[in-house]
Structure 1
């Protein structure tokens, strides 16, 4: 089977949540390059708008936010072929279980687990009716490697997302919809760069020393650096393409070797 990589997603309509920065933006750009019509959603307008990418402002941590996105896409485009649930966030304080409130747990679960569940529920009926579609859940290696000091709710939510993704695949793959999970390790986004600057400023060390301290906290990254957003995006671009037509129900870890177990 021959594929035109530059145009392999022609006539496909794709949504990337959290698609205005970091890995989400890289994924949106990669799908656009492959010929897809790309929609992104986030709470705020992108800092550098791209008139080739459709933007919907929505807070997906709220049911009304996900409903808005589903309704607008159905109204404007009529269907969705590719859903990349990339949105993820952890804003809870450090200090372990004792400092976390119910509200912080709830907010983290809404953003990282229930938002994808609601979007899947909104778009799956159309995909099933058409007999085709691809859903990608962007999880995290913290589902297997939780950092309880600072991201306990986030790790729990992502572990739930991985389990849910597998269960959903078992249900809808026979109906023509592929469901896959991508679990990145540390990605060098703008937010990561700002974090390194804060660590460097507070410790009085260099950026390189700050980067090493983060890798040490993860137990080391054998590859020696964080992933680049484009590297994650390239793999997602492959997974949603016809070249990956037999892949479903699987979790793929992109972490430079961070997780030490199979």
Structure 2
């Protein structure tokens, strides 16, 4: 990674692609700005026809941030597995061994840094909130038309737009009371949580009506539909390596048949055929 300070031409990287395909299985574009300096940043933009897997990864000199604008990420460090939604990223401090997975046809941005963002000091690894400006700027600097001065200015704002807590997450994204976003963040981390709307309302000390209204305001759909979409999005990351019955249980379905019905309605094919048709979805 000892590269020059200008945006670099797209370059291939050997990241595991679970599903073999006959066309280009993986594309990675690489952009480096101010590298070799504390204030530099390296951005790797991946997209694959099959599932992406960053397995048993460890960097002793660089901190890493993984973010996807269009799907869930599955992360593991130590004995802990956590799922990360589009409004969050997975942070790994240098020298922390970790794994990250994404589903097929999903874009993943991987930022490598020498400096720890101020809000993430002391965090070894875990899900962090990404505010809308930071999300926009991550995509903006991963292109050949971005010059170094613009990218380094954007890097400062990206780092300022990260936060590790639920309060940060709600503060970054809420347009309403924030209750619905608090629930959605918890569900994205653990989609198998079986709590219904009434139980969540009790946990948050609000009425069911208030919470449902906040879901409609934030997402334009009721709680049940938000939960279903999160569960199915998460299942796509898991299906490449786990049996359908195991995935159904992990994402909160009472039976494989209920999961198969919901998955087929959403994606147009059964989970059992997904590994073979994932690149067509």
- Structure of higher CA gyration radius: 2
Q: Decide which structure has greater helix share.
A: 1
Q: Decide which structure has greater strand share.
A: 2
TM-score, structure 1 normalization = 0.28
TM-score, structure 2 normalization = 0.27
